[in-house]
Amino acid sequence: MNNHLLNLEKKIGITFTNKKLLENVLVHRSFLNEHKKFPLPSNEKLEFLGDSVLSLVTSIYLYKNYPTLDEGSYTDIKAAIVRTESLAETASLLGLGKFIYLSKGEEINGGRTNKNILADTFEALVAAIFIDKNFETAYRFIVKFLFGKKLDYIIKNKLYLSPKSRLQEYAQSRFKRLPEYKIIEEKGPEHKKNFFVAVYLNGRQLATGSGHSKKEAEETAAKKAIERIISQKKG
């Protein structure tokens, strides 16, 4: 058995019955372009299945552990925890990058730290655990390595909400008022316009933001306003 597979098994605390399945998790499609006779396919079908398993596990976990939240919050929380960046971060902590089979070109271009490749490999690993073991093992693996304390932190601090929603909640709870957004400038041609927006609370400007739409500019301004509020609290 390859040492890298043994090391990966130790890292995740799961011993596979089907070692080829575990190896398949690590096969990026670029590798097959240079190794036409390699006996395993790419991990793309595993990734497809893993995405569904991940979604189901997250839904069950939220339903069981956060019964007071509504379905809209579940959707937002799920999007926050299973996004590419979050999956890639977990894959990095597991050291998946060093195990992936990549083409030389992909290797040179930083494929081992590429967020999309890492996230896809993590999803493929979830699927492989589900196939080789069972749903419960996949569930425990996801809760341990992906959720950990991170999911509780996201929920307690309402980080799953959009910046505008978070700022609105803060303004209502603190001042019983809503933030106001005003366009302060528009630049560029009609098809590629940039909007500059300022957000105000109690008549005081909190922050400004820009974007290619009013909504994007407002979200940027709200995000900066929240960051400013947080830094003032720390200070």
- Of 114, 117, 94, 89, the closest CA to residue 27 belongs to 117
Single out the catalytic residue among 47, 76, 106, 123: 123
Q: How many helices (H) and strands (E) does the chain have?
A: 12, 3
Structural contact between residues 54 and 62, judged by C-beta atoms closer than 8 angstroms: no
Question: Other CB atoms closer than 10 Å to residue 199's CB: what's the count?
Answer: 27
* Three-class DSSP category at 196: strand
Single out the catalytic residue among 23, 47, 51, 218: 51
State phi, psi for 27 to the nearest 5 degrees. Answer: -90, 105
Residue 199, strand partner residues: 181, 207
51 is known as an active-site residue: yes
Token pair for residue 96? 């998946």
Active site residues: 51, 123
